[in-house]
Amino acid sequence: MANKGWSQLWLDYEEKQKAAGKACADQETVEVKIDGFNADCRIIKSAVKELKRALAGDAVKVTLAKNEKIAKEGYVVDKNVVSASDCRGALYGVFHLIRARLMGQEYADIAADHAPSNPLRMMNHWDNMDGSIERGYSGRSFFYVNDEIVVDERTVDYARFMASIGINGIVINNVNVKWAATDLITTRFFDKVKELSDVFEDYGIRLYLSLNFASPIELGGLPICDPLDESVINWWKDKIKEVYDHLPNLGGFLVKADSEGRPGPFTYGRTQADGANMLGDIIAPYGGIIIWRCFVYNCTQDWRDTKTDRARAGYDYFKGLDGEYHENVILQIKNGPMDFQIREPISPLLGGLTKTNQMLEVQIAQEYTGHQIDLCYLIPMFKEILGFKTYCKEGADTVADVVSGRTMGNKLAGMAAVINTGNDFNWTGNDLAAANLYGFGRLAYDTDLSAEEIAREWVRLTFNLDAELEDKLVDMLLRSREIYEKYTSPLGIGWMVTPHDHYGPSVDGYEYSRWGTYHRADHLGLGVDRTDKGTGYAQQYYSPNAEMYNDPNTCPENLLLFFHHIPYTWKLKSGQSLIQYIYDSHFEGCKEAEELAETWKEFEGKVSERSFANVSERFGRQVYNAREWRDQVNSYFYRKSGIEDEKGREIY
């Protein structure tokens, strides 16, 4: 529906109806019977509207039946009957039915029985009030223009997309709460935020706000924001009452404190728990929650100091406080100990905390994974993360177990993604990056889905391809993360990326900086010693993971340089030396990126002209990027090591 000014992504009903040869999109052909639900429920109303639009042209009667036995937010679909115990479940079931139809299934074959894996399934926007987006690669914000909130048809479509993949919570502003965003909790913005939250509520989505911990100073005029100070506590009490008077459906607050220059409890000698619990206690009577990020580390390190290890920081700051966080506080933990690199170990805090609500944070905004220029389908990475065995408790110890609440029986649990959207026509910059948007939601709802199942669903819903091209596109998606990894930084070392911008190579870009992100390469080898003889980070894991990582012979090779300083002549299991692996993987990765771009040419005329042009242009830039990475990384290590490529290829 190009005339709208934005794509309908995987819900492009008109396109699908056209492709299926349905002449008229007559919504009157769809009858919806409501059995047991309150027909005035706003979510049920949205479900009915959606059914009529999506199934238009089918002479069908759909029943929405209430069934108390079905799990919260779960659904059962049997042919044209959708059953659920609550309105959200009914809406998700409706979207399941719609998906099945859009993918070409007949009603007689539709059968499903699903319950969400995770109670909280959230998107985090890093949108700023001036319309810019921190780490945004898809245009400007569609929530904010010039410090004003915009609620329009696009917002409604956005909420529909999110509901269709099972998202039930959205944080609408950047965790780095700057400028006008602090005012989101003032009368200046209450009406608009309420309007936005109403749109979300229609689709079963709770609105959350990122909070400025220094609000008592910046808004209240107090001299401090010490979480144990009485005047501060009283200020928050009044403020949060005022907020809930205006925004009764607010889900709660996301807080980034004591991190990368943000204020926090440390300023006053208090703990992270002091800060989180103070807000948690005040918000509890309103049913709100505090989501407290664990991204706390020293970002003013000295590169000469080899003892301080940024990777250790999360565990060091938060593990000791396990059990002290109150019931409505949940810690949000990035998947790795560093910062969304293409390959990192799993954060030892996940499952390391056993008495604390916790949720997983991933990033589908491709900050370090190609800026939505390079193709990088991230669901295989998220599957690895969820499948990681932490050894925190026998029988229920994968990250998926921990963050779903299964391990500890906690109700506050789940997954959040830093979102990759903006106001570009296609929402995600690169048309193919929408696979991550779709995929994250589907995976958060059902962590048992495979990366391939999700990719196939998305491809089938988004395009109208024959079986052969569908397979090709699914294959391109599935290989893309590995390809990106091959031509960028090797074996878990990370970084080597252009500072600040984080796109393209700069091997020494962060090597002498304050951010704690070093590769420590010299003429003999590279990598960071994080063993018991080095920074001790490996010891933050449970046994036997700790021992496995500690020994270079048992450490998974794709993380070898994260945990160990390894000589270039070290023999990998393949028999290749480390230096030869660096050369080979970079040549391979770059060649494979070129192949992706080549394969895409076969899609000309098979996808819309706009899509074809959009993705082609991106692949052009990806190929350039991959060559830069290959040649800069290979030349760098050739110059350091003086060791020739066995295959005699061009290295500069």
Catalytic residue numbers read 260, 339, 367
The CA distance from 48 to 55, in Å, is 11
Nearer to ligand GCU, 417 or 597 (CB): 417
Q: Minimum distance between the CB of residue 88 and ligand GCU, rounded to whole angstroms?
A: 28
Judged by beta carbon, residue 134 or residue 242, the one nearer ligand GCU is 134
* Comparison of 517 and 531: residue with beta carbon closer to ligand GCU: 517
- Separation in Å, CA 564 to CA 411, 521, 537, 549, 552: 38, 12, 11, 9, 7
CB atoms within 10 A of CB 38: 12
* 301 is a contact residue toward ligand GCU (CB under 6 A): no
> What b/e string do you get for 152-167 counting C-beta neighbours within 10 Å, with b at 16 or more?
eebbebbbbbbbbbbb
> Which CB, 134 or 588, lies closer to ligand GCU?
134
What whole-number distance in Å separates Cα of residue 32 and Cα of residue 608? Answer: 33
- The H-or-E segment that residue 470 falls in is helix 467-487
Are 186 and 219 in contact, with CB atoms under 8 Å apart?
yes
Q: How far is the CB of 295 from ligand GCU (least distance, A)?
A: 5
Per-residue contact string for residues 512-551; x = within reach of ligand GCU by CB under 6 A = ----------------------------------------
Which residue, 75 or 295, is less far from ligand GCU as judged by CB?
A: 295
Least Å distance between CB 12 and ligand GCU?
32
Among 121, 135, 343, 371, binds ligand GCU (CB under 6 A): 135
Contact at 8 Å (CB) between 556 and 541?
no
Residue 339 binds ligand GCU, judged by CB under 6 A: yes
Six-digit token pair at 611? 């899509």
Using CB under 6 A as the binding criterion, the count of chain residues that bind ligand GCU stands at 9
Name the token pair of 582.
Answer: 């660096």
558 scored as a contact of ligand GCU (CB under 6 A): no
Residue from 15, 134, 316, 327 binding ligand GCU (CB under 6 A): 134
β-pairing, 206-211 vs 252-255, is parallel
Q: Which of 357, 187, 185, 333 is nearest to 256 (CA)?
A: 333
DSSP 8-state assignment for residue 83: E
Residues numbered 498 to 517 that lie near ligand GCU (CB under 6 A) are none
Residue where the block lists tokens 């509901």: 163
Peptide bond into 380 cis (omega under 30): no
Q: How far apart are CA 477 and CA 144, in angstroms?
A: 32
CA distances from 152 to 6, 195, 198, 306, 388 (A): 12, 10, 12, 52, 41
Return the closest-CA partner of residue 514 out of 304, 259, 300, 338. 300
Helix (H, G, I), strand (E, B) or coil at 255: strand
Please give the residues from 354 up to 393 whose contact with ligand GCU meets the rule CB under 6 A: 367
CB of 297 to ligand GCU, least distance (A): 10
Helix (H/G/I), strand (E/B), else coil: 477: helix
Q: What length does the chain have?
A: 652
Instruction: Pick the closer one to ligand GCU by CB: 361 or 397.
Output: 361
- The conformation of residue 36, written as its DSSP 8-state character, comes to S
CB of 418 to ligand GCU, least distance (A): 7
Binding flag, residue 459, ligand GCU (CB under 6 A):
no
Estimate to the nearest angstrom the gap between the alpha carbon of 21 and the chain centroid. Answer: 37
Print the binding letters for residues 146-175 with ligand GCU: x by CB under 6 A, - otherwise.
-----------------------------x
* Closest CB 128 distance from ligand GCU, rounded Å: 11
Look-up: residue for tokens 């939250």? 197
Q: Does residue number 176 form part of the binding site for ligand GCU (CB under 6 A)? A: yes
The 8-class DSSP code of residue 571 comes to B
Q: Which is nearer to ligand GCU, 363 or 545 (CB)?
A: 363
Which of 8, 420 has the CB closer to ligand GCU? 420
Q: How far is the CB of 126 from ligand GCU (least distance, A)?
A: 7
Task: Find the shortest distance in angstroms from Cβ 440 to ligand GCU.
Answer: 16
* Of 208, 295, 541, 549, the one binding ligand GCU by CB under 6 A: 295
Q: Is 200 or 515 the residue whose CB approaches ligand GCU more closely?
A: 515
* Nearest-approach distance from CB 547 to ligand GCU, in angstroms: 31
- CA-closest candidate to residue 335, choices 440, 409, 253, 178: 440
Nearer to ligand GCU, 310 or 586 (CB): 310
Sign of CA dihedral 205, 58, 437, 362: positive
Query: Which x/- pattern over 272-291 shows residues binding ligand GCU (rule: CB under 6 A)?
Result: --------------------
Mask of contacts with ligand GCU, 224-263, x by CB under 6 A? Answer: --------------------------------x---x---
Question: Taking CB under 6 A as the criterion, which residues in 388-417 touch ligand GCU?
Answer: none
- Contact set for ligand GCU, span 84-103 (CB under 6 A): none
In the complex, the smallest distance separating the C-beta of residue 622 from ligand GCU, rounded to whole angstroms, is 21
Cα–Cα distance, 630 to 591 (Å, whole number): 10
Q: Report H helices in 463-577.
A: 467-487, 545-550, 560-563
Name 211's Cβ contacts closer than 8 Å, sequence gap at least 6: 177, 185, 253, 254, 255, 279
In the complex, the residues that contact ligand GCU under the rule CB under 6 A are: 134-135, 175-176, 256, 260, 295, 339, 367
